[in-house]
Amino acid sequence: MKQIEDRKQLHYYLQVHQIESVFNEALLPHLSLYSFNEGEIICEQGDLQSHLYILVKGKIKIFMNSSEGYKLIIAFKSPLEIVGDIEFIQNIELINTVEAVTPVYMIGIHYDWLNKYGMNYPPLMQFLLKIITRKFRIKDNSFSFNMMYPVEVRLASYLMSISFDESNANFKGRLSIKNLKDAAGLIGTSYRHLNRVINQLCAEGLIERNKEFISVIDREGLSILANDNIYE
């Protein structure tokens, strides 16, 4: 993590995403801009969170680890998204781990300042409520998606989520072979069946697989198969 000491850049993101009015004059001086590298952990499940983060550029992955050591990827998120909102309201430890999928910029503010200046400021509370309720709606949609659509559609959606970032045309992600079991858990299928579907998509010329990675080679075709990127 790196703090960006550039107030103009911070205000640029506030204005681009039209969230400057969410913060009152007492809160604005306490906002900071942070950058995270691809693959960097932003916050970790079980830790005590100190900051509320607002994703303003890039893509993040949200997942949780079970006591047995299994990883369940919950979703991929692009701006605008908030990290630490439920933990702030409930005063609890972090529910999930959040990782930067691409280079990421986030606006952060310490919980102390939110408690001091924000709890009685309606625009901020309405903003948090809107984001939190959207999370529950997306979670319901994701569950329905896993129940209703075949594995090849879910896999296509997953690959679109990890391979591309609409705000960064130069980013080209890949699925590591070592993460296939995690992918199977997210899309709700067995590891063996996932491999069969991967071979099917390779045969159709949509993706290619080597010993280390799975890469998208036909973005348009995979996007048509995915129909709607449910994991974002």
Rounded average pLDDT over 104-118: 96
pLDDT of residue 7: 94
Residue environment code for 170-187, b if the CB has 16+ CB neighbours within 10 A, otherwise e: ebebbbeeebeebbbbbb
pLDDT of residue 163: 85
The residue among 131 and 136 whose pLDDT is bigger is: 131
DSSP string over 44-98: -TTSPP-EEEEEEES-EEEEEE-TTS-EEEEEEE-SSEEESHHHHHHT---SSEE
pLDDT of residue 165: 74
pLDDT of residue 215: 94
The whole-model pTM stands at 0.77
Q: What is the pLDDT of residues 20-43, one digit of tens each?
A: 999 999 999 999 999 999 889 999
Q: Which domains does the chain have, with CATH numbers?
A: 2-139 (2.60.120.10), 149-226 (1.10.10.10)
Tell me the pLDDT band of 146, cut-offs 50, 70 and 90: low
Q: What is the pLDDT of residues 55-102, one digit of tens each?
A: 999 999 888 876 666 666 677 888 999 999 999 999 999 999 999 988
Which residues, 6+ apart, have CB-to-CB distance to 65 below 8 Å? Answer: 45, 71, 72, 97
78 closest CA partner among 146, 138, 144: 138
Q: Could you say which DSSP state residue 191 is in?
A: H
The residue among 149 and 21 whose pLDDT is bigger is: 21
Residue environment code for 111-127, b if the CB has 16+ CB neighbours within 10 A, otherwise e: bebbeebbeebeebeeb
